Chains A and B, each alone.
Chain A
Amino acid sequence: MSPKPILSAFRQALSEAWAGGAGALLPLGFFAGAAVLVPLGIGTEPGMLRAVGPGILWVSLALSSLVTLERIFQSDVEDGTLDLWLQAGAPVSAIAAAKTFAHWLTAGLPLALMSPVLALMFQAEASLSLLTGALIYGLGGLAFFFWGGVGAALSATVRRGGLLIALIALPLYVPTAIFGSMAMRGAAFGDTAPLLLAASTLFALAAAPFAMAAALRLAAD
């Protein structure tokens, strides 16, 4: 087995994401838009915004991962690329993982990098912990994208699969959302919460590709 097909899958996914019109800007816009709607809905009292800000960002991150995931495998089914990847001579799980990781790089990581800005808008103090926060959003986002990828692969042949992905992925997002928001609140839990978040992300990285592989074989069948 050679790693070449895996690298090629990664490259293709990256170029596809960048070529898809606005590239990383679209998920960013969605993320920011969803987050910014909240103060308009619940009011602008600074103390309250500071309290709910991290949670809002988690919800926005989860939502934007779901919205952008819909097409990653569906387009492969429609244009016949999936058939080629399944016959590329590399484990399908590795191909799926490479594609999902590329997708996270273009649609997930930018959100994490932008989180400090949004956190400031939610009245957070400017401090180094905003950067720690970005790291935590990045880590949690990775788990979101991998579990969401399972939903995306399972509904790759379903028209209007987006709603289905959300329903499938929602319960799988729970541990990440919980550990992630605990990690954000930091001090109360010491180091446990970030470690738990890292562990659950590792679990997603280890388990989800196999489910995606089985689902993609089904989508091609």
Chain B
Amino acid sequence: MLSATNLGILRGERVLFEGVSLSVAPGEAVILRGANGAGKTTLLRILAGLTRPEAGNVTREATHHWIGHREGLKPHETPRTHLKLWGQAWGAEADIDAVLREMGLSRPADVAGRYLSAGQKRRTALARLMLDNRAIWLLDEPFTALDTEGRDQLLAMVARHRQSGGAVIAAVHGDAGFAASREMGL
């Protein structure tokens, strides 16, 4: 579904990593491991096409979702307007109210982003995964700021996604909570 061969990247003159290859098939989940600064985020950004690698190439055979460190939520946007905007941008016809309910965002649905807690912002970002059915999920530290309930919700989403033939590549610290097909150290 997604494969990358021989990726290498410099940051300044420092070789962040080189010779990194990975691929993921339907139903699989790959977990990226590595210390802070090892290049997990950079690798994910390369896979998403955001960062250009100095060497190697990436082939994506399906569309992907991106959940990064930064939520992509504007201070003036509410969870509802945010999901509506991206639903429209992607031409997705999901039921926004249902998505909000499922993510436990019904209560703060109309609160502007600047007043949301870190966990609520994270949930809003993760809710984008449900707007549009995309086969590849690229998740950078998706559990950050989530409470237990939110964590269980995300785990359930990942499980459902994999059952329906989706693939996940995630950078995770500590216990991922789901069985990875492969772990990759950087």
Contact residues of A with B, CB < 8 Å?
2, 4-5, 7-9, 11-12, 15-16, 19-20, 75, 78-81, 83-84, 86-89, 217, 220-221
Contact = CB atoms under 8 A, between A and B. Distances in A.
B72 A83 contact: yes
Contacts of B70: 78-80, 83
Chain B interface mostly? loop
B86 A15 contact: no
B126 to A, nearest CB: 13
Contact of B76 (A16, A80, A87): A16
A80 B48 contact: no
A4 B85 CA distance: 10
A194 to B, nearest CB: 37
A78 B69 CA distance: 10
B91 A2 contact: yes
Chain A interface mostly? helix
Given A87-B49, A87-B66, A220-B50, A4 B89 contact: yes
A137 B69 CA distance: 41
B69 A12 contact: no
Given A8-B88, A11-B85, A84-B86, 15 more contacts: A9-B89, A11-B88, A12-B74, A16-B74, A79-B71, A79-B73, A80-B68, A81-B72, A83-B50, A83-B72, A86-B49, A87-B50, A88-B89, A220-B45, A220-B51
A84 B66 contact: yes
B75 interface: yes
Nearest to B112: A19
Which one of A79, A88, A220 has the greatest number of beta carbons of chain B within 10 Å?
A79
A8 B86 contact: yes
A4 B87 CA distance: 10
A80 B72 contact: yes
A169 to B, nearest CB: 25
Contacts of B77: 12, 15
Which one of A8, A79, A84 has the greatest number of beta carbons of chain B within 10 Å?
A84
B33 interface: no
Interface in B1-57: 45, 48-52
Contacts of B48: 83, 87
A92 to B, nearest CB: 11
Nearest to B88: A8
Contacts of B64: 87
B72 A4 contact: no
A115 B32 CA distance: 57
Nearest to A15: B76
Nearest to B92: A4
21 contacts: A4-B88, A4-B89, A4-B90, A4-B91, A7-B88, A11-B85, A12-B74, A19-B76, A20-B76, A79-B74, A81-B74, A83-B66, A83-B68, A83-B70, A84-B66, A87-B48, A87-B49, A87-B50, A87-B64, A88-B90, A221-B50
A58 to B, nearest CB: 32
Contacts of B89: 4-5, 7-9, 88
B90 A89 contact: yes
A8 B85 contact: yes
Contacts of A16: 74, 76
Contacts of A11: 85, 88
Contacts of B45: 220
Given A11-B85, A79-B70, A79-B73, A86 B50 contact: yes
Nearest to B81: A15
Nearest to B42: A221
Nearest to A13: B74
A80 B122 CA distance: 12
A40 B90 CA distance: 53
